[in-house]
Amino acid sequence: MNDQTKAKPIDPIASVERIEELCANELNDLCDATDAAIQGGGGFGWLDLPARDILERYWQGVIAMPARVLMVARLDNVICGTCQLWKPPVNNEAQKHIVQLTTNFIAPWARGHSLAKKLIEKVEEEALKEGFAVINLDVRETMTEAIALYESMLAAAESTG
Ligand SMILES: CC(C)(COP(=O)(O)OP(=O)(O)OC[C@H]1O[C@@H](n2cnc3c(N)ncnc32)[C@H](O)[C@@H]1OP(=O)(O)O)[C@@H](O)C(=O)NCCC(=O)NCCS
């Protein structure tokens, strides 16, 4: 086969969504993606791989809690990353306009498809819809990819006003 007859690789479909239920396959994919992120060193607090039942209960808990909003990223329909919004408790009236962004990661095998960017855009959309004006997040200085991502999105937002 010469170069002209070679089939072009098909780009994978990258998508993000807010999710309120997880079927068994999705829970499994989410746990696999979390394992991959933890092994890659970006496991939002996990240092070692937790047992699968602990991870499953963690994500089922997130889905069950009204104060949490879960967004997932998919590559060719397989869940490969997440982002959560933690709403403030009702007694925190002084900070009722502030929401916390956490568990933001894309599994290493799915990086470079603009999924993190799409997730943050979705987070901003959902935060506005829920009536929040400020999104807070913590990032370690060693997470250089994440810092580049947040800074590039901030610069783009500032340049468009
Ligand atoms: C940070 C992370 C979420 C990026 O995921 P991703 O899906 O590959 O990112 P995207 O493809 O959407 O890239 C968006 C932007 O991020 C930045 N970026 C992503 N990967 C980068 C890299 N390896 N080097 C430099 N910049 C990078 C770039 O600004 C890029 O913009 P560009 O496409 O215009 O160049 C991913 O690397 C990750 O999960 N890291 C470990 C966990 C982590 O750091 N989470 C954040 C906690 S606050």
Domain ranges for the chain: 15-159
Is the CB of 136 within 6 Å of ligand 1? Answer: no
User: Is the four-CA dihedral 113, 114, 120, 124 of positive or negative sign?
Assistant: negative
The pLDDT tens digits of the residues spanning 74-112 come to 999 999 999 999 999 999 999 999 999 999 999 999 999
CB atoms within 10 A of CB 137: 14
Q: What is the pLDDT of residue 2?
A: 56
Q: How far apart are CA 18 and CA 71, in angstroms?
A: 4
Decide whether any atom of ligand 1 lies within 6 Å of the 147 Cβ.
no
User: Residues of the chain whose pLDDT is less than 50?
Assistant: none
Q: If you take atom 22 of ligand 1, which residue's CA is the nearest one?
A: 145
Quote the pLDDT of residue 3: 59
pLDDT given for residue 117 in this prediction = 96
Q: Please tell me the distance between residue 19's alpha carbon and the centre of ligand 1 in angstroms.
A: 22
Residue 19 sits at φ, ψ, to 5 deg, of: -130, 135
Name the pTM for this structure: 0.92
Q: Does domain 15-159 have CATH number 3.40.630.30?
A: yes
Q: Could you tell me which residues are beta bridge partners of residue 17?
A: 72
Provide the pLDDT for residue 49: 94
Residue 41: what pLDDT?
Answer: 84
- Beta strand residue intervals within 4-122, DSSP E: 14-18, 68-75, 78-86, 98-106
Distance of CA 12 to the CA centre of its chain: 18
